[in-house]
Amino acid sequence: MKNLSYLDEYRIEVPTYPLGDETCGAFMIPRKRNGALAVIASSEGGWDHVSVSLATQCPTWEDMCRVKEMFFEDHETVIQFHPKTSKYVNNHPFCLHLWRNQSQEHELPPDYMI
């Protein structure tokens, strides 16, 4: 994950993440349209994790790409998990997550086309 100090202008204080540091914290990132993205970044247990939410709808693909660009390095592979149904957790209906394993890079198969 990038050093998040450059995002200090968007940093907010919430009880679970008082002000954070260069690797974690809570942020309100303005959107080009319709409100702001609520973003929480953490780095623990061998994973970098960023949650992204809006008040009344899920973030768009463009929102998630923008957050990936803001919080992670260009060379880092970041993924969204879809766990087995028995492991689903839905604490916020309009929240999506980005994850990066800190110990190994994951790549798409070489012939995969995006």
Asked if the structure places residue 112 within a domain, the reply is no
- pLDDT given at position 15: 76
- Helical H runs in the chain? 61-71
State yes or no: pLDDT of 113 exceeds 70. Answer: no
Asked if the structure places residue 8 within a domain, the reply is yes
- pLDDT given at position 18: 63
State yes or no: pLDDT of 109 exceeds 90. Answer: no
Give first-to-last CA distance, the chain, whole Å. Answer: 23
Asked if the structure places residue 109 within a domain, the reply is no
Q: Token digits for 113?
A: 């086309």
pLDDT digits (tens, 9 = 90+) for 46-64: 899 999 999 999 999 999 9
Total of domains in the chain: 1
State yes or no: pLDDT of 111 exceeds 80. Answer: no
Asked if the structure places residue 110 within a domain, the reply is no
Determine the distance from the C-alpha atom of residue 55 to the mean position of all C-alpha atoms in its chain, rounded to a whole number.
16
Using CA atoms, how far apart are residues 95 and 84, in angstroms rounded to an integer? 18
Q: What average pLDDT does this structure show over 84-103?
A: 87
Residue 98 and residue 79 in contact, taking contact as beta carbons nearer than 8 Å: yes
Q: Is the pTM of this model over 0.95?
A: no
